[in-house]
């Protein structure tokens, strides 16, 4: 039986309007009590905390910051006090995620913290203020035209989707990257020898990056030339929100496209609209590479000879709603595009 909305759940949802944004499919959604299922929901109690405050639950938030690369302390020593080092961590987090830098746990920051996200740590190696690489800037091969194979682990798949739907979602995701760089991807049945190994895993699965149940961390992948790409089996993975009514459904293709970016060598971007931004709301899609993603990956691999920036600009131009809804952001975006073209 599904539970009806509790007051607490409603409060939680009202604080997070962006969890169910414009691309949500209208219709009857299955109500889910997120307070019982969603990882990190308790952090809502810490809104407005700043330096000097002592809050029950702050030590858990410090573990979160430690997990994603913002606090270096031993986890055993984390207290519930909002101290200097935690303030620095909050500032760095806000800078890395493109948030307003306040050094406090304001509503925008807490909302971002509670959003489902990728398990890969946020990078400190920003080539410029937007896209980023892993330490040492690793990439696959150095030949002009790389050919990489990918395969799915037969023993680590999901039941709620057909294999053909999973395979097709990944095929589309790989094709977005191969369209912009001179790298070809092909699916293989030979899992042990495939370059990129894909599977759905539960909890602690042997790589010291345990998954955490519904929402929270959705997936993670390893930098080149490791090739492992893991998704949390506990998520309600979806390829079509018309048929997947759950409020916690997560778009497989969006997450696949993001994780393939890691497999190729991109770390997390500060640009909220970029595929390589670390978080993704339930019931939302983000599959089209943005200028930041394209510039970042092409700086590593070069450009696919068939790729033209004009096609990217045209796809941006076709989003006319964007001009109407947010003209200032649109102007910034155009300036970025023009900057790239020049």
Binding flag, residue 286, Zn ion (CB under 5 A): no
From 75, 168, 242, 259, the catalytic residue? 259
Q: For residues 118 and 276, is the Cβ–Cβ distance under 8 A? A: no
Question: What H or E segment, with its residue span, contains residue 183?
Answer: strand 183-187
Pairing type for strands 196-201 and 219-221 reads unpaired
Q: Which stretch binds Zn ion (CB under 5 A): 53-61, 117-125, 142-150, 246-254?
A: 117-125
The residue whose Cβ lies closest to Zn ion is 118
Q: For residues 212 and 37, is the Cβ–Cβ distance under 8 A? A: no
Q: For residues 231 and 237, is the Cβ–Cβ distance under 8 A? A: yes
- Mapped onto helix, strand or coil, the DSSP state of residue 229 is strand
Q: How far is the CB of 230 from Zn ion (least distance, A)?
A: 3
Q: Which stretch binds Zn ion (CB under 5 A): 95-103, 112-120, 157-165, 242-250?
A: 112-120
Question: What H or E segment, with its residue span, contains residue 58?
Answer: helix 58-67
Quote the CA–CA distance of 107 and 16 in Å, as a whole number.
9
259 is catalytic: yes
Beta bridge partners of 117: 217, 279
Closer to Zn ion at the Cβ: 58 or 194?
194
Quote the CA–CA distance of 68 and 130 in Å, as a whole number.
18
For residue 192, give both structure tokens. 């042990």
Residues 6+ apart with CB under 8 A from 292: 130, 131, 269, 271, 273, 274, 276, 336
Quote the CA–CA distance of 11 and 5 in Å, as a whole number.
10
Quote the CA–CA distance of 244 and 29 in Å, as a whole number.
9
Quote the CA–CA distance of 36 and 3 in Å, as a whole number.
10
213 marked ligand binding residue: yes
Q: How far is the CB of 60 from Zn ion (least distance, A)?
A: 22
84 marked ligand binding residue: no
Q: How far is the CB of 133 from Zn ion (least distance, A)?
A: 13
Question: What H or E segment, with its residue span, contains residue 219?
Answer: strand 219-221
Binding flag, residue 118, Zn ion (CB under 5 A): yes
50 marked ligand binding residue: no
Closer to Zn ion at the Cβ: 110 or 267?
267
Binding flag, residue 270, Zn ion (CB under 5 A): no
Binding-site size, Zn ion (CB under 5 A): 5
Exactly one of 41, 104, 230, 283 binds Zn ion (CB under 5 A); which one?
230
Question: What H or E segment, with its residue span, contains residue 92?
Answer: helix 84-96
232 marked ligand binding residue: yes
Q: How far is the CB of 324 from Zn ion (least distance, A)?
A: 31
Quote the CA–CA distance of 4 and 32 in Å, as a whole number.
7
Closer to Zn ion at the Cβ: 62 or 228?
228
Exactly one of 49, 120, 297, 316 binds Zn ion (CB under 5 A); which one?
120
Closer to Zn ion at the Cβ: 69 or 302?
69
Closer to Zn ion at the Cβ: 62 or 230?
230
Cα–Cα distances in angstroms (integers) from residue 136 to residues 123, 207, 220, 319, in the given order: 12, 21, 19, 37
User: Interface residues for Zn ion in 209-228 (CB under 5 A)?
Assistant: 209
Q: Give the per-residue contact string, 160-199, with Zn ion (x = CB under 5 A; - = no).
A: ----------------------------------------
Exactly one of 75, 84, 207, 240 binds Zn ion (CB under 5 A); which one?
207
Quote the CA–CA distance of 279 and 112 in Å, as a whole number.
8
Closer to Zn ion at the Cβ: 34 or 276?
276
Residues annotated as binding site for Ca(2+)? 195, 212-213, 232, 235
For binding to Zn ion (CB under 5 A), which residues are involved? 118, 120, 207, 209, 230
In the annotated binding site, the residues are 118, 195, 205, 207, 212-213, 220, 230, 232, 235, 258, 262, 268, 276
Annotated binding-site positions for Zn(2+):
118, 205, 207, 220, 230, 258, 262, 268, 276
For the annotated catalytic residues, the residue numbers are 259
């Amino acid at each position: 039986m599904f539970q009806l909305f509790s007051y607490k759940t409603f409060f939680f949802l009202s604080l997070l309007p962006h969890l169910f944004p414009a691309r949500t499919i209208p219709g009857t959604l299955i109500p889910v009590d997120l307070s019982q299922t969603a990882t990190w929901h308790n952090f809502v109690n810490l809104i407005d905390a700043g330096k000097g405050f002592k809050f029950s639950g702050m030590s858990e938030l410090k573990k979160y910051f430690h997990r994603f690369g913002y606090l270096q302390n031993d986890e055993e020593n984390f207290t519930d006090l909002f101290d200097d080092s935690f303030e620095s961590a909050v500032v760095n987090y806000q800078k890395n995620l493109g948030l307003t830098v306040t050094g406090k746990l304001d509503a925008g920051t807490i909302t971002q913290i509670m959003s489902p996200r990728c398990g890969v740590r946020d990078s400190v190696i920003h080539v410029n203020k937007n896209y980023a690489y892993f330490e040492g800037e690793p990439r696959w091969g150095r030949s002009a035209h790389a050919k990489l194979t990918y395969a799915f682990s037969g023993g680590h798949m999901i039941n709620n989707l057909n294999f053909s739907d999973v395979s097709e979602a990944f095929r589309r995701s790989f094709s977005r990257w191969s369209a912009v760089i001179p790298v070809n991807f092909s699916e293989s049945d030979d899992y042990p020898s495939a370059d990129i190994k894909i599977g759905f895993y539960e909890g602690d699965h042997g790589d010291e990056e345990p998954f955490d149940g519904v929402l929270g961390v959705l997936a993670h992948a390893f930098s080149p030339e490791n090739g492992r790409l893991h998704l949390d089996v506990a998520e309600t993975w979806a390829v079509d929100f018309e048929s997947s009514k759950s409020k916690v459904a997560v778009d497989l293709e969006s997450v696949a496209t993001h994780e393939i970016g890691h497999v190729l060598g991109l770390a997390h971007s500060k640009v909220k609209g970029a595929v390589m931004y670390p978080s993704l709301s339930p019931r939302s899609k983000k599959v089209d590479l943005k200028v930041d993603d394209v510039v970042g990956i092409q700086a590593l691999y070069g450009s696919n000879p068939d790729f033209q920036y004009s096609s990217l600009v045209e796809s941006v131009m076709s989003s006319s709603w964007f001009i109407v809804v947010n003209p200032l952001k649109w102007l910034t975006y155009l300036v970025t595009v023009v900057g790239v073209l020049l």
